[in-house]
Amino acid sequence: MVQARGGVELDEVLAELVARRWEFREQRYVSKDFVAQLKRLGLYRVATPERFGGERMSPAEFLRRIERISVVDGSTGWVASFGSLPIYLGSLPLEAQEVLYADGPDVVLAGALHPAQRATPTERGFLVNGRWKFASGCMAADIICVGIPGDDALGRPRGALIRPERLQIVQDWDVVGMQGTGSFDVVAKDVEVDREWTFVRGGEPVIDEPLFRYPAIAYAAQSLSVVSAGVARAALDFAEEVGSGRASTTGAPKLADRGYYRAGIAEAEARLRSARAYFYEAADEAWEAVVAGGQVGEEQNAHLRLSAAYLARTCSEVVHQVVSLSGVVAIYRDHPLPALLGDALVPQEHAFLSPAMYDAAGAVLMGQPATIPAFR
């Protein structure tokens, strides 16, 4: 049993989530009071610099906790996964980080980085205007990062950190999967942001701690991908439980008495476990490198990106296979599988987990440059 600060245990939080997951899906976001429970589990301090009270946790351990949450509800797992995002802020000026964590290390960060929007230089920083999509978790965020054009020598984009009360949240999230993530649009109208509250995305970290030597984009990709593993686990658990005990409405043998069902579910089980093994193996190897004082090599980073993309795609296929084996009952709106199918669809569609990762990883493994920008 995982216990966090204040005696809050993960099992207790998951029991509450079972009772509230449909509430979150119907309102289209995870309520702030429940995000506070995730805070008390320590999930939003694992990527906070240790000098500001962060508690070191290996990526694999964090990912396993997100996976457990996602077995119960993928949307909540998706929102909890943003506990990894503060490593994006590695190049944020130190004085801004001191203010950001002044009230404690448990800071909920939401991001709406694309498309980069207009930022007019001012004497203090930038006057920001625009509308950004997919600000998952913004309804409970302490700070929101929006994307603005870059101005460094390499042309890398910048992130601007803005308090939620200075932005307009447009509740336009109407989707078939991950319905409770609250991935709403955010709008800025003449919001001035001091330059020290902006940072170069992918810039050199100002703090030297092991996690800030772990590839930030790869960690973000892993955090989203592992949600799909939880969703696939939920689908297989349901299939194995229901298949063993319910007869067909037509009078045919129960599912577990049918050879194609047994074989298909067994195959799906093997595929999920194999993809997970590769995923966690890559995470452990990369973490061992940084804890030993080194850097994550190009090939190691390629395996992080490849294993994350492969896990998301495999999990979507696993859930689809479970649905296709489950018969006509799975077409009903109130059946558990359609919701899991929708949730499993989403992670593989994220830009960090798209099929382009296969080409980019393959190029790196063959000694060539990655074929996409921001691969590392």
- Per-domain boundaries in the chain: 5-91, 107-200, 214-365
How far apart (Å, rounded) are the C-alpha atoms in residues 227 and 94? 32
How far apart (Å, rounded) are the C-alpha atoms in residues 313 and 225? 9
Q: Taking Cα atoms as reference points, which of 142, 141, 159 lies closest to residue 150?
A: 159
**pLDDT tens string 282-321:** 999 999 999 999 999 999 999 999 999 999 999 999 999 9
**pLDDT tens string 263-286:** 999 999 999 999 999 999 999 999
**pLDDT tens string 346-359:** 999 999 999 999 99
**CATH 2.40.110.10 is right for the domain spanning 107-200:** yes
Architecture in CATH for domain 5-91 = Orthogonal Bundle (1.10)
pLDDT band at 105 (very low <50, low <70, confident <90, very high): very high
Q: Is the pLDDT of residue 248 over 80?
A: no
* Residue 151 confidence (pLDDT): 77
**pLDDT tens string 28-57:** 999 999 999 999 999 999 999 999 999 999
Model confidence pTM above 0.85 = yes
* Residue 7 confidence (pLDDT): 45
* 331 exposure class (CB count in 10 Å sphere: 0-12, 13-18, 19+): exposed
Helix (H/G/I), strand (E/B), else coil: 286: helix
Helix (H/G/I), strand (E/B), else coil: 235: helix
Which CA distances in Å does 344 have to 6, 112, 150, 279?
A: 33, 22, 34, 17
Query: In the predicted model, what is the mean pLDDT of the chain?
Result: 93
Is residue 119 within 8 A of residue 128, CB to CB? The reply is yes
Domains 5-91 and 107-200 fall in the same CATH topology: no
Q: Please indicate whether residue 303 or residue 3 has the higher confidence score (pLDDT).
A: 303
Q: Is the pLDDT of residue 255 over 90?
A: no
Q: Beta strands of the chain (E only): which ranges?
A: 109-112, 119-121, 125-135, 143-148, 158-162, 168-170, 184-194, 198-200
Widest Cα–Cα separation across the chain: 76
How far apart (Å, rounded) are the C-alpha atoms in residues 21 and 317? 24
**pLDDT tens string 147-177:** 999 877 666 789 999 999 999 999 999 999 9
Is residue 345 within 8 A of residue 275, CB to CB? The reply is no
Residues in the chain: 376
* Residue 327 confidence (pLDDT): 85
* Residue 3 confidence (pLDDT): 47
Architecture in CATH for domain 214-365 = Up-down Bundle (1.20)
Helix (H/G/I), strand (E/B), else coil: 94: helix
Q: Average pLDDT for residues 217-234, to the nearest whole number? A: 97
Is residue 311 within 8 A of residue 276, CB to CB? The reply is yes
Which CA distances in Å does 118 have to 92, 191, 302?
A: 20, 11, 33
End-to-end alpha carbon distance in the chain:
35
